[in-house]
Amino acid sequence: MTRSFSLRDLALLWALRDQGITLDMQRAALYESRPLQEALCGLMPARAAATLTYVCHGHAANGRGFIQVQAYPERQEWQVVHLAPRAEAGGLSWGPWWACALSELCVLAGRRGALRVRAGVAAGSLEEEVFRQAGFSAYTREEVYRLLQPGALAGRAAVMRNVTAGDAWRLLQLVGQVVPPPVQHAEGLVVSGADVPILARLGVSRERGYVLERGEELGAYLGLSRSRRGVWARILLHPDDGSRAPEVIGHAIAAAAGEATLYCAVRDYQAGLRNLMQDMGFEFVGVQVWLVRHTARPAVSPNYRQLAAREKRPGALTTPLHPVNTVALVPCLPVTREHWTYEY
């Protein structure tokens, strides 16, 4: 059984406070893990909780743990950021037990309006296997590199300018040119008719963004997330502007000159950046796999189902251009066509 955290679960979180694992390499690299503090903050009524905590209880005596997720209302999604206990800590089994708990979590996410649940895990890890057992599918991989003491290589940082609200449409076009459609769908980047501002949906509002001009288009986007531990960079580079990649990376190095470490994630559809990372002094850290499970499913609308049931027999699909028996019919809704809507 998976349910929301309450004060009666304090003893469980205290016992497992040092036995969990932080998912998503960016979060693990930049932020200190404080699951108990995050859980208590989520109970405060005066603030909207960004981190949600769920307690999991199994049938076995040692089948107890908890999951924490980061809610992203602008994209209607949850991201799993912490699991406890981890595999090396012993205790409960990492097989069917966690898979069942994660499946129940996805049901809860759908009830609260989240369209998908995502997670970033180390490639080939036990966590990846458990998420796959729970119905998650991998949609991209990324290699993570780091540069220690970027100030030693910092140069001039005037190549790119700060992103503005006026760049929203051009940035959306850049995403469409760089990011494959399956990844866009998995991360909710391009959604027609969305009420959320474009920059917020693309994650720009959560980082410091820079853009590189390319005529009337954008040639590149650089997003920097900062903490006391370092800086994390994500790069979108126009397919026809690969020669300017050193300028973009150089700008990231200059912007992180006062920090201890600069991290940069290179996804599998950005293969051109890999060799350049090593040439500019970055060292390889590891590979992360991003997985997703969608909580919305297509369903036949009951109204159309009733309409089809009133027909004595299914007829051929007709249009005014192709009438049946040479008699033009009034355009109407074909009863044999399926109509789908999303439900949670």
The mean pLDDT of 258-270, rounded to a whole number, is 91
For 144-153, what is each residue's pLDDT tens digit?
Answer: 999 998 776 6
Place of tokens 């950021």: 81
Residue 326 predicted with pLDDT over 70: no
For 283-292, what is each residue's pLDDT tens digit?
Answer: 999 999 999 9
pLDDT band at residue 57 using 50, 70 and 90 as cut-offs: confident
Architecture of the domain spanning 144-287: 3-Layer(aba) Sandwich (3.40)
* Summary mean pLDDT of the chain: 81
Q: What pLDDT is stored for residue 152 in this prediction?
A: 64
Residue 18 predicted with pLDDT over 90: no
The mean pLDDT of 99-124, rounded to a whole number, is 93
Choice between 122 and 308, residue whose per-residue pLDDT is larger: 122
Residue 22 predicted with pLDDT over 80: yes
Q: Record the pTM.
A: 0.81
Give alpha helix (H) positions in the chain: 10-15, 25-30, 35-41, 96-111, 126-133, 168-178, 181-187, 198-201, 245-255, 274-279, 302-310
The mean pLDDT of 204-225, rounded to a whole number, is 92
Q: What pLDDT is stored for residue 2 in this prediction?
A: 86
For the chain, give every residue range classified as CATH 3.40.630.30. Answer: 2-135, 144-287
CATH topology of domain 2-135: Aminopeptidase (3.40.630)
Residue 38 predicted with pLDDT over 80: yes
Percent of the chain topping pLDDT 90: 45
Residue 329 predicted with pLDDT over 50: no
Percent of the chain topping pLDDT 70: 77
For 82-103, what is each residue's pLDDT tens digit?
Answer: 998 876 655 445 667 788 899 9
Residues 6+ apart with CB under 8 A from 58: 64, 92, 97, 100, 101
| Residue (of 87, 50, 84, 44) closest to 67 by Cα position | 84
The mean pLDDT of 114-138, rounded to a whole number, is 94
Residue 14 predicted with pLDDT over 60: yes
Choice between 154 and 281, residue whose per-residue pLDDT is larger: 281
Residue 324 predicted with pLDDT over 70: no
**HEC-encoded secondary structure of 129-191:** HHHHHCCCEEEEEEEEEEEECHHHHCCCCCCCEECCHHHHHHHHHHHHHHCCHHHHHHHCCCC
